[in-house]
Structures are given as C-alpha cells and as structure tokens.
Amino acid sequence: MPAASRSAPESPPQTDLPESAAAAELEDLRTRVENLSRLIDVTVLVSSSLNLQEVMNRVMQMAKEMMDAEAASIMLWNDELECLEFELTVGEVGVDTLKTIRIEKGQGIAGTVAETGEPMLVADVSKDDRFYGKADEATGFETKSILAAPLIVHDGIVGVSEVLNHKEGRPFTNHDLELFATFCRQVAVAVENARLHENEMKQSLLDQQMKMAAEIQRSFLPAALPEDEGKRFEVDAFTRSAQEVGGDLYACEVLPDGRVGLALGDVSGKGVPAALYMARVVSEFRMMCSKGGPPSEVLTALNAALARGKMRGMFVTFVYCILDPATGELELGNAGQLPPLLAGASGGARWMGSASGPPLGMIPTTVYQPDKISLEPSDTLLFYSDGIAEAQDTSGEQYDPHLLVDVSEAGTGARRVLSHVLESVEAFSRGASQADDMTLVSISWEGGR
C-alpha cells in the first residue's frame, strides 16, 4: 500500500511584532537623543546668556517642547517675602494674571517641592488634595497633570519649575519626571548665573552713580580755603564720609567787607538722600550769607527756606560764625550743632555755651539768637560733627568728648589744633570701621595788624 502522503509542514504565522518593537525602540532612542540635545542646549545657555528674562524664556520654551506640554512656568523664591512668585510662563497661561499669586512653602504642589527639595509627579490633580487651584481660577486654564522640580543652587532653593498637561492627553510618567528633574538642575544654574550677573550690573551701576554723586557733592565744598596775606587769621577743614557720599558739610566765605564766614552742618541720615539735601543746604546758605547779615539772621532765613520745601522730614544741624580779622570780634549762630571748642594760646580749652536753637528745617517760625565773643590773639575756635564726638573703638566704646579739651600739646593756630584733635580721635578708633561722617573746621585769630 502506498505510503500515505504527507503535507509540507506549515510555516509559522507571519507577525509584525519584531518590526514594531524595533520601530518603538528606534523612536525611543530618537526621543532620548533629542532630549539629550536639549539638555546640552541648556548647558550651552548657562554659559552663553546672562540676561535673566532671556534665560528664563528660552529654558521654559525648551521645557515645554521637550516634555510636549501645554504650558510651562517658572517661579522664583522671594527671600524677603518668603514665598514663590511667578516670573514667567509659556503656553496658554499669561504670567501677568499670576503676578499677584504668592505660594508659601508647603502650599500646593510647587510649595511642597520648595519645602522638600524633591521633584514631584502628579498624574491626576483632581485626585491629589495638595493641588492648589488658585492659578487655574485666575487664568481659566485647566490643569490635569503636573511635573514640578526644584531649582537648587548650592543646596538652596532658588525656585520651582512646572510643566502642565501632556499634549497627547496622557498623564506624565516617571521617565518624564526623571528627564524634567535633570533639565531643571541645569535651569537652576542658568537662572542663578543670570541673577548674579544682573545683581552685579545693578551694583556696578549703583557704584558709578555713587561715585558721580560723591564728585558732585565734593564740588559743593570749598575748592580751597582762604588765606590772609596779613596772617591775621587762619582756617582749616577736614571731612571724611562714612559712605561714598555723606551728609556732613562745611563752607568758608570771605564776605564783601573782608570778614570771614565759617560754617559746619550735619544732615540727618546718610547716603544719597543726605547728599542731595546737603547740596541744597550749601546752595541756599551761600546765597544768603553773601549779603553779609549776622549769623543768627542767616540761620533764621535758611531755616524758613528749608522748612518750606521739606524733604521727607530731613533736617540739618548747623553752626555759622563770622570773624572780623581786624578786631577779633566773632558772631555766632547755632542750630542744634554741638558746642564749639575754644582753644586759647596757653593750651587750655573750653566749650562755648552759645545760644542754640533747633536744627534747620524742623520749625519754620524759629528765630535764632545771636551770640558774640571777643577772641584773644592766638585763640582758635573748633567746630566738629557728631562723627568726631561719637567715634568708637574696636570694642564699641565711645570716644570721650572731654579729651577734645586736651589741646595743650597742639600749639596755636587753626591747623595745629585741628590736626591734634583729629589725631587723638583716629588713634582712639584705629582698627574700627567708621560709623558716621567726620568733619572738623577751625578758625584762629592772630591779632589785628
């Protein structure tokens, strides 16, 4: 019997699984290469751009594209207010609407990331009680899924970045979170570099402005002090600000009749406001003293002018004297300034208990009282600001003003007395930082000739 015929074995069914798997693997590889390229782009951006707004805009555009998200945002930490603030958004949400929203640590998803320093994935915000919906309420945007990662520099949180809603409608994945967290580590460096550069630029501009202000301020001080050919009088002055610009001032004017006017003032406050007020005081004073009126009348008029145009409650202590070189007669007006020191030829010294009124610019109706003294030959009158009388040493101990009267070794003359007092104060405070502006002016009379 013939052998039964056998059919050929069937070939295994054809399937496209290996081809699909290869295609998926290839697509995944392509995606990883693209994402790596974007991470490299951020690394390049870290060193290529130092404009904060440009950096934030570019990295958030990158984040949105890389994560295929509907929107992305960056919030920076405000140290002063201790909260996160929206700085920039890309996508369907405008940052202007979000500017008023502040997020504290532990509040919402972003606040939790700021508190823990760990990235977070929320696949469905409707199922997470931590979701803070105020931003959605303000914008009308509907958040479904969130990736949030901290921006950390030197172990400190500088902000939080988020991407919202995958465009395919699916939740974000742990792979997405890992990639986004890696991305945000580079973003943090880029943002911090830009912020540091911005602060440096602002500081540089401020330094330039302060230097210009200091130059302008110095222009209001006498370029040179008058000298008397007959050696009947001598004047000297010293000033040093605690900051780039200060509030101390002095002026020395030879009046039309040959008398010599000398003034010292100390504006309340420090820095630019004090410098601006100081410039105004000097300008007004020069105009008023040029008429040669008694110091008390000049102070009364100057006070009224300053009080009329108050600058945020600022005021100035001020003392003004006029010496007649022919007779040694000296007229004095004092508006809250420390009492001047009168050093005699014998080396002894005493404070002048001159009539003193309130500082200029406080009470518009103040009328200042005149004071007159007759100097003896070689007498010196020394005026000083409270930066001299209140100088401190390295331990915080304050200079004893009674040391000012010890001028027995100074000799005579305005320059010697001033130098002696300045050396005494600087020896006491050597090594300590200068806390206040320091100014000294002196005038001596050598007798009529």
Q: Give me the mean pLDDT over the 425-443 stretch.
A: 88
Least confident interval from 14-18, 370-374, 393-397? 14-18
Q: Give me the mean pLDDT over the 383-399 stretch.
A: 87
Least confident interval from 97-106, 210-219, 229-238, 368-377? 210-219
pLDDT above 90: residue 330: yes
Can you tell me the distance from the alpha carbon of 194 to that of 46, in angstroms, rounded to the nearest whole number? 8
Question: Of all residues in the chain, what percent carry a pLDDT higher than 70?
Answer: 82
> What per-residue confidence (pLDDT) applies to 156?
87
> What per-residue confidence (pLDDT) applies to 360?
94
Q: Which two tokens stand for residue 285?
A: 């004073």
Angle (deg, nearest 10), helices 52-66 and 17-48:
180
pLDDT above 90: residue 358: yes
User: Mean pLDDT for the chain?
Assistant: 83
- Start-to-end CA distance of the chain, whole Å, equals 164
Residues 239-277 pLDDT 10s:
988 877 778 899 999 999 999 999 999 998 776 777 778
* Bridge partner residues of 356 (DSSP): 334
Can you tell me the distance from the alpha carbon of 359 to that of 363, in angstroms, rounded to the nearest whole number? 8
Q: Give me the mean pLDDT over the 360-378 stretch.
A: 91
Nearest CA-CA partner of 440 in 277, 237, 283, 175: 237
pLDDT above 70: residue 354: no
pLDDT above 90: residue 359: yes
Amino acid identity at 73? S
Q: What is the CA radius of gyration of the chain?
A: 38
List of long-range contacts for 129-135, beta carbons under 8 Å, 24+ apart: 132/103, 132/107, 132/108, 134/101, 135/86, 135/93, 135/98, 135/101
> What per-residue confidence (pLDDT) applies to 5?
44
> What per-residue confidence (pLDDT) applies to 128?
93
Q: Give me the mean pLDDT over the 274-292 stretch.
A: 87
Per-residue confidence band for 106, with pLDDT thresholds at 50, 70 and 90: very high
* Bridge partner residues of 267 (DSSP): 316
Can you tell me the distance from the alpha carbon of 20 to that of 37, in angstroms, rounded to the nearest whole number? 25
Can you tell me the distance from the alpha carbon of 261 to that of 169, in angstroms, rounded to the nearest whole number? 84
Interior/surface letters 283-311, b for 16+ CB within 10 angstroms, e for the rest: ebbeebbeeebbbbbbbbbbbbbbbeeeb
All domains in the chain, ordered by first residue: 28-198 (3.30.450.40), 214-445 (3.60.40.10)
72 neighbors 90 (Cβ within 8 angstroms): yes
Q: Give me the mean pLDDT over the 13-21 stretch.
A: 55
198 neighbors 186 (Cβ within 8 angstroms): no
Distance of CA 332 to the CA centre of its chain: 39
Residue 386, judged by CB atoms within 10 A of its CB (0-12, 13-18, 19+), counts as middle
> What per-residue confidence (pLDDT) applies to 63?
84
pLDDT above 50: residue 446: yes
Q: Give me the mean pLDDT over the 190-214 stretch.
A: 75
Least confident interval from 170-179, 212-221, 257-266, 422-431? 212-221
pLDDT above 80: residue 284: yes
Question: Of all residues in the chain, what percent carry a pLDDT higher than 90?
Answer: 37
Per-residue confidence band for 212, with pLDDT thresholds at 50, 70 and 90: confident
> What per-residue confidence (pLDDT) applies to 15?
47
pTM for the complete prediction?
0.60
Can you tell me the distance from the alpha carbon of 118 to that of 150, in angstroms, rounded to the nearest whole number? 7
Give the 3-state DSSP-derived string for the chain, with helices as H, strands as E and coil as C: CCCCCCCCCCCCCCCCHHHHHHHHHHHHHHHHHHHHHHHHHHHHHHHHCCCHHHHHHHHHHHHHHHCCEEEEEEEEEECCCCEEEEEEEEECCCHHHHCCCEECCCCHHHHHHHHHCCCEEECCHHHCCCCCCHHHHHHCCCCCCEEEEEEEECCEEEEEEEEEEECCCCCCCHHHHHHHHHHHHHHHHHHHHHHHHHHHHHHHHHHHHHHHHHHHHHHCCCCCCCCCCCCCEEEEEEEECCCCCCCEEEEEEECCCCCEEEEEEEECCCHHHHHHHHHHHHHHHHHHHCCCCCHHHHHHHHHHHHHHCCCCCCCEEEEEEEECCCCCEEEEEEEECCCCEEECCCCCEEECCCCEECCECCCCCCCCCCEEEECCCCEEEEEECHHHHCCECCCCCECCHHHHHCCCCCCCCHHHHHHHHHHHHHHHHCCCCCCCCEEEEEEEECCCC
> What per-residue confidence (pLDDT) applies to 218?
78
Number of Cβ within a 10 Å radius of residue 275: 25
pLDDT above 90: residue 160: yes
Phi/psi at 444 (nearest 5 deg)? -125, 155
Can you tell me the distance from the alpha carbon of 265 to that of 236, in angstroms, rounded to the nearest whole number? 15
Can you tell me the distance from the alpha carbon of 341 to that of 420, in angstroms, rounded to the nearest whole number? 13
pLDDT above 50: residue 325: yes
